[in-house]
Amino acid sequence: MTITLFLILLIVGAIVGYYSGLIGTGGNIILIPVFDILFHYLKIPETEVVKFIIAHSFFITAFTGLSVSYKQYKVKNLHVKEVMYISVAGMITAFFMTEFIKNGSWYHKSDFDLVFFTLLLILAIRMLFFKQPPPPISDNYFNKPYFPIIGIVAGLISSLSGLGGGIIVIPILTDILKTPLIKASSISIGVVAMLAIPISVSYLSIDARSAMQHVLPMQVGYISMFISAPVLIGVFSTTGWGVRTAQKSNPNTLRLILGIVVILLCAKMVYGFIANSYT
């Protein structure tokens, strides 16, 4: 790894850590396009590139989510019951869907890009053009029977898009269950971390040298520790800053930030679709 690449990955990690602490969606929204560029630069075969992107994204997200959740605990904004009610069904779903993707060749880069783009567009519209309803008088909603259903949907979306489930958890909590955004973000990052664990385990549990055409330095399964380490150093340095900023921020400002980030990524993907159509 060159010094330049190390510094780039370190900066990406710092941005991901701050963003995850601020918004609560895990940072996959930033990691996926970065890893897409990186693994194409490293000449990962098209048949494997989606697996490399999702594997690295979720491996880093697992540690990011746990780091942010710890910071949320320190500011007394950790909600374990809600996280577990959503996560258990989601973890099971995410693991088996990941195994299905990992052990087959049916899910191609074009499918991945379409799922990713569609979910980004839905999230952008939701965040930019729909205001959060006022919170309910009572906060006793954590035992709702449809929480496992949210987990299942989040697990499927995580496995297919690499986005971590926060893209569905936050809108449902804020716009349907009328949860304050600060609390919803804390629940979301906890769920994202829990969903990332079984997906990471699945991608780690494969013999890279016998099953892949391309092996990166210090690679375990589909995950290169050589690439992941500088990103994680950056992540750990800024998660607390993001959480503290979120505690002081206006919820509408946070929704606007998320919406703008997503719109920029959508624009980048549209440009990529157009460019590919002429090649």
Confidence of residue 109 (pLDDT cuts 50, 70, 90): low
User: How many domains, the chain?
Assistant: 1
* pTM of the predicted protein model: 0.78
Q: What is the DSSP code string of 198-254? A: HHHHHHHSS-HHHH-S---TTEETTEEHHHHHHHHHHHHHHHHHHHHHHHHS-HHHH
User: In the structure encoding, which two tokens stand for residue 263, read together?
Assistant: 């719109």
How many CB atoms sit inside 10 A of residue 99's CB? 16
Give mean pLDDT, residues 134-154: 67
Helix (H) or strand (E) holding 267: helix 251-277
Q: What is the pLDDT of residues 59-87, one digit of tens each?
A: 999 999 899 999 888 888 888 888 998 89
Residue 231, pLDDT > 90, answer: yes
Q: What is the pLDDT of residues 234-252, one digit of tens each?
A: 999 999 899 899 888 887 7
Average pLDDT of the chain to the nearest whole number: 81
Domain membership of residue 100 as a residue range: 3-277
Q: What pLDDT is recorded for position 235?
A: 95
Q: What is the DSSP letter of 86?
A: H
Residue 15, pLDDT > 90, answer: yes
Q: What pLDDT is recorded for position 56?
A: 93
Name 40's Cβ contacts closer than 8 Å, sequence gap at least 6.
49
Output 180 or 161, whichever has higher pLDDT: 180
Q: What is the pLDDT of residues 45-57, one digit of tens each?
A: 877 888 888 899 9
Q: What is the pLDDT of residues 185-195, one digit of tens each?
A: 888 889 989 98
Q: Return the CA Rg of the chain.
A: 18
Sign of CA dihedral 69, 232, 174, 134: positive
